[in-house]
Structure 1
């Protein structure tokens, strides 16, 4: 899907009617990434904004919920968790072919590689400190005060997520992956006790879903998988992602010398998070890692299925989908470390 698929005349008319001050649409350029919900830079005489849409074609139930993303931006904008300013939501598929929303343009940059190869060690350390600040802010957000008390079901987060992603994986399964079958058996039998704690969970918290302005987080983006859940969830997902092997599609930090790079090791991240939130993940850490590898493998499998069906929005979708087996095997290994 290219930017040429956007009907600029119809889009420009809608934006002029629904976004204050918008005028003179000129072009749309699709951003790199966005394997799930295509995202575009909109250039206009009145300035820049960003459009994020559902992809076309048959979609899995509850997937690609851009309206939920828009609600989160409305709830968080101006608070401790930096997000782009939401501008307007369009539920009418007739305008461009699918539901979409627009948000203000954040003039930052995306760091695709968690090794941050273009900065020095001191700056890397500072940036990972900002990551931790954001994880702490997410884990400690008062969801009631933010108006998000009904954004998801409270309690039993991991049990519900294992059930949901098992169903999603089975719906998009294209081959047998023994490690996924093993995790589907192991995870329900090893669920941690539900402590009743509830937080807003981003659901895909990685370095490349942060917009950076120098060494500061200008915005957290891609809230498609967000919901109410457990305050340890984003921490587990972030650390899982750092354990991935070096690869051009979903790069991790496996095999790199973190100390030399100025990046805190996993134990230091967990210690700092526990000290600042009062939430200690270490007793159940193998479960958290195994769960998030399983979940990411299920997501990758969904990307693979969309690529095969011709509905994926990224040229890298097929390569990302092929990572499902590797990710699942890492999850099975984490489970065995318990």
Structure 2
């Protein structure tokens, strides 16, 4: 397969632990250690081959081939890691819990919490074959019917996820009460630790979001990064897997819908090169004719769930504002030399302010009246688990 290699480059991939210890930066894969782990799993022997896959800007995903078998390894980025992020063991547990409820996720094969293997925890899962729709469309998606079915399948999968009962192992994924308030507070507190520049709109938006917190209509599993780029399609309209569960917890389901809407390119729009786009314009392929509009996707979700999305502009603003914060963290890591060769980091000098402007514009469309800051809100009720 194109892109596969069995040759360590001495930077991201090395052969031995001794070579890893001699590197200026920790490598991402250590072949000998990984081979031993695959032996323990009973994977047939053979030369190990790998390639980096996925468009994520946070965690690292590799496709692995050995002995005729295809696997996927997922790990966090190089240390140092911010507290409470990149928890690969939790991400694996989430997928195992949701698989029991029929959510389409890859099968988890093993988790490793021994930092001596790769330097950080990681997990291995079955490879899922399918298409990811981001910048272009593969063969089979030419007709308006195929395109509409694909986008609506994404919304239906989101509605199904939000219908998963919050009990047993799922209940341990988070504490739903107060989710929105915690999101605003948490990301506002992150900014000073991830940025080296003053952007007053960050704090201004945090205050405005906090003043206008919607009342959550109910609680559900929240993916936290639900977009077409995190879905694999077996065929038009048929989802093979939902990927990248790092941000998943329990909370307000409209947070996922707001994020999907904020990252979805309207049909007929200019896409990623449009002057009106942001770095979170993540599905320029959906600018092609035949894809539903955002409004049509939202209407489909309301029909499937019975939820009222009239205040979705607030949730879109939250998504764009949070994206500005985590994109700023990526920019800072790039400035620190932790992301050499990165082409995304340089775009964020102007990309982060543009996200903040887009969040402010979305918030202008919020029709909710300001709430009494002393009144309880975000009061969805469900069985509580451990805090996220």
Tell me the TM-score normalised to structure 1 length: 0.90
Which whole-Å deviations, capped at 9, do the CAs of 1:248-307 have from their partners, x for residues lacking one?
7543579x996x71122222222221121111121x222111111111111211111221
In structure 1, what is the equivalent of residue 292 of structure 2? Answer: 264
SS at match of 1:140: coil
Is 2:22 the counterpart of 1:7? no
Cα distance change of structure 1 residues 72 and 117 upon mapping to structure 2, 3 Å threshold: same
Q: Does the 8 Å contact 1:8/1:25 carry over to 2? A: no
Gaps of 5+ in 2: 1-10, 15-26, 274-278, 367-388
Q: How many angstroms does 1:22 deviate by?
A: 4.7
Match of 1:150 among 172, 176, 180: 172
SS at match of 1:261: coil
Is 2:318 the counterpart of 1:296? no
Q: What is the alpha-carbon root mean square deviation over aligned residues? A: 2.4
Q: Distance in 2 between matches of 1:133 and 1:331?
A: 26
Q: Max radius of gyration: which structure?
A: 2
In structure 2, what is the equivalent of residue 106 of structure 1? Answer: 128
Q: Distance in 2 between matches of 1:296 and 1:117?
A: 28
In structure 2, what is the equivalent of residue 287 of structure 1? Answer: 314
Q: Distance in 2 between matches of 1:187 and 1:150?
A: 27
Cα distance change of structure 1 residues 103 and 133 upon mapping to structure 2, 3 Å threshold: same
In structure 2, what is the equivalent of residue 67 of structure 1? Answer: 89
Q: Distance in 2 between matches of 1:162 and 1:316?
A: 29
Q: How many angstroms does 1:127 deviate by?
A: 0.4
Q: How many angstroms does 1:112 deviate by?
A: 1.8
Q: Distance in 2 between matches of 1:166 and 1:243?
A: 27
Cα distance change of structure 1 residues 52 and 257 upon mapping to structure 2, 3 Å threshold: closer
Cα distance change of structure 1 residues 117 and 26 upon mapping to structure 2, 3 Å threshold: closer
Which moves more between the two structures, 271-280 or 29-38? 29-38
Is 2:234 the counterpart of 1:207? no
Which moves more between the two structures, 214-223 or 86-95? 214-223
Is 2:146 the counterpart of 1:130? no
Q: Distance in 1 between matches of 2:341 and 2:164?
A: 32
What does 1:131-210 align with in structure 2 at a 5 Å threshold?
131-145=154-168, 147-195=169-217, 197-210=218-231
In structure 1, what is the equivalent of residue 254 of structure 2? Answer: 232
In structure 2, what is the equivalent of residue 251 of structure 1? Answer: 281
Q: Does the 8 Å contact 1:108/1:212 carry over to 2? A: yes
Cα distance change of structure 1 residues 320 and 214 upon mapping to structure 2, 3 Å threshold: farther
Q: Distance in 2 between matches of 1:292 and 1:58?
A: 25
Q: Distance in 2 between matches of 1:247 and 1:319?
A: 16
Q: Distance in 2 between matches of 1:238 and 1:205?
A: 6
In structure 2, what is the equivalent of residue 306 of structure 1? Answer: 333
Aligned residues: 331
Q: How many angstroms does 1:32 deviate by?
A: 4.4
Q: How many angstroms does 1:247 deviate by?
A: 2.1
Q: Does the 8 Å contact 1:108/1:211 carry over to 2? A: yes
Q: How many angstroms does 1:24 deviate by?
A: 3.1
Which whole-Å deviations, capped at 9, do the CAs of 1:210-250 have from their partners, x for residues lacking one?
11222121111111111111121211110011269732754
Q: Does the 8 Å contact 2:115/2:121 carry over to 1? A: yes
Tell me the TM-score normalised to structure 2 length: 0.79
SS at match of 1:238: helix
Q: Does the 8 Å contact 2:259/2:319 carry over to 1? A: yes
Q: How many angstroms does 1:25 deviate by?
A: 4.8
